[in-house]
Chains A and B, each alone.
Chain A
Amino acid sequence: MPHHHFYESELEDIRRKLVLMGEKCIDLVRLSFQALEQNDLSIAQRVLGMDDEIDELELHIDNESVRYLSLRAPVATDVRMLTVCMKGCHDLERVGDEASSIAKRVRRLARQGRPIGDLAGIPQMTEMVIGILRKSIDSFVNESYDEALSLPEIDRKVDDLNRSNYDILMSRSADDSKYVPIGIELIFISKSLERIGDHAVNIGEEVAYLIKAKNISHTDLVRRAPTRS
């Protein structure tokens, strides 16, 4: 019968904080898109405030992980859990930054004082990015290797959408020089969403490492873009 140590609750606490951070990141991405779609500066402001909470969680997870490594002499799965939490919280912190960046661009777009118009593939891309983030957190919670490995394929579709957004927005800017300031902001927003997809894939790689004790980064299992001929 396995014997449980009294301090294991500390590791569980770190794990729960990472899940919480993931949930908050999903909320943040959703809100940043709402701010864009509804041209709502108060929502944009809320996103920036919530990003501070995410930064605080990152610090907490980092500090508690170092404390656990120093005081509890963890081995095997426990060590991998800690490295996953430490690396995962950095990816999630970057997700928070990208969502903040979107919120800031919403503010700049508002200052242009003209309607933004059609958002190209950004709404669809946001849904996909929220989906891939959700899957990355679920794969961690359920410790599902298959779910973790399903992320790169979704990410490739996100990348495709980003490229198509770029083409659409560049073409609009070429047709109408007054559209250029809007087009540029939307291209950057699309790029932020694309980066969030990458961070979700990173988390999936970490989860795979947690489960199989094998680092699959930079292998064919997680190849992000199809090989170009």
Chain B
Amino acid sequence: MATVTATEPTLTEHTAPSPDPSYIQVKNFSFWYGSSQVIHDQTFSMPKQKVTAFIGPSGCGKSTLLRCFNRMNDLIDGIHHEGDITVGGESIFNPMLEVISLRKRVGMVFQKYNPFPKSIYENIVYSLRVAGRNKKSELDEVVERSLRNAALWDEVKDRLQDSALGLSGGQMQRLCIARAIANQPEILLMDEPCSALDPVATGKIEELIHQLKRQFTIVIVTHNMQQAARVSDRTAFFYLGKLIEYDETQKIFMNPEKPQTEDYVSGRFG
């Protein structure tokens, strides 16, 4: 007799619950570059220790919103916003909050890998040294842990003092991820992290994202529909500064509510 039952759980994790379904909350949020409004009164929330993908055509506001989460946009002149964004219930626009401490909690990885022109080791410990942490044993530990988490340790452990610029593109991007997680942030923002990588390096980063969500809450902006489908738990489709549809990734890619979403995910948009 067959002993396995039909109701045996699958090996996959696509149904595991989040420890906090409303970890990042966007509340009636609008955003302007000068007089140009790019995000229009949006309200939604993102779960903890899950991957949320932002998709949508260029100019839809997804990268702008992503950069709001660690207040990167503060560096741009003439911006202003209305509404609020909270992380773990705490407003990121609280005037008492230091932006530096927010950015420690919210790490970021960019489209184009951008390691410092320093050694692999120094790239990772840079932020710790800035914070005055110079104890070698601690730094060594952070370097190993971060590189292991970024699935890069085995490839570089024998050349930590070599220049980071000698790594391949995929390795440099993983180094940037290692650097972003060295400070153990709670949230990892990724702005098209694979768009400059070949399919093999892309596969490694996607695998890494899948591993990292056990520890971090990840928000990823991507133009690659298959990537959003593969790596994310929830997907948000933006168009012209508005969230058109936001749901479980499998719902968005298998049976979206809005015809506009279906047109976009199937490449028939416009």
Contact = CB atoms under 8 A, between A and B. Distances in A.
30 contacts: A3-B204, A5-B203, A5-B206, A5-B207, A6-B210, A6-B211, A7-B230, A9-B11, A9-B12, A10-B10, A10-B14, A13-B10, A13-B11, A13-B12, A16-B4, A20-B2, A20-B6, A24-B2, A27-B2, A56-B6, A56-B7, A60-B6, A67-B250, A70-B254, A71-B229, A71-B230, A71-B250, A71-B254, A72-B230, A73-B226
Contacts, number: 59
B131 interface: no
Given A3-B204, A6-B207, A72-B230, 16 more contacts: A3-B200, A5-B206, A6-B211, A9-B11, A10-B10, A10-B14, A17-B6, A64-B10, A66-B254, A70-B229, A71-B229, A71-B230, A71-B250, A71-B253, A72-B229, A73-B229
A70 B230 contact: no
Contacts of B230: 5, 7, 71-73
B253 to A, nearest CB: 5
- What is the interface of chain B mostly: helix, strand, loop, or mixed? helix
Given A67-B250, A67-B254, A23 B2 contact: yes
B249 interface: yes
A72 B206 CA distance: 12
Interface residues on A, range: 20 to 34
Contacts of A12: 11
A143 B77 CA distance: 63
B261 to A, nearest CB: 13
B1 interface: yes
B206 A10 contact: no
Which one of A6, A16, A23, A73 has the highest number of Cβ atoms from chain B below 10 Å of its Cβ?
A6
A45 B2 CA distance: 18
Interface of B: 1-2, 4-7, 10-12, 14, 200, 203-204, 206-207, 210-211, 226, 229-230, 249-250, 253-254
A70 B250 CA distance: 8
Interface in A23-65: 23-24, 27, 53, 56-57, 60, 64
A67 to B, nearest CB: 6
B38 to A, nearest CB: 30
B12 A71 contact: no
Contacts of B203: 3, 5
A139 to B, nearest CB: 18
B204 to A, nearest CB: 7
B252 to A, nearest CB: 10
Contacts of A16: 4
Nearest to A7: B230
Closest 3 CB pairs of A and B: A23-B2, A71-B229, A9-B11
B170 to A, nearest CB: 11
Contacts of B2: 20, 23-24, 27
Nearest to B199: A3
B11 A10 contact: yes
Interface string A179-208: 000000000000000000000000000000
A138 to B, nearest CB: 14
Nearest to A61: B6
A187 B219 CA distance: 63
A12 B10 CA distance: 10
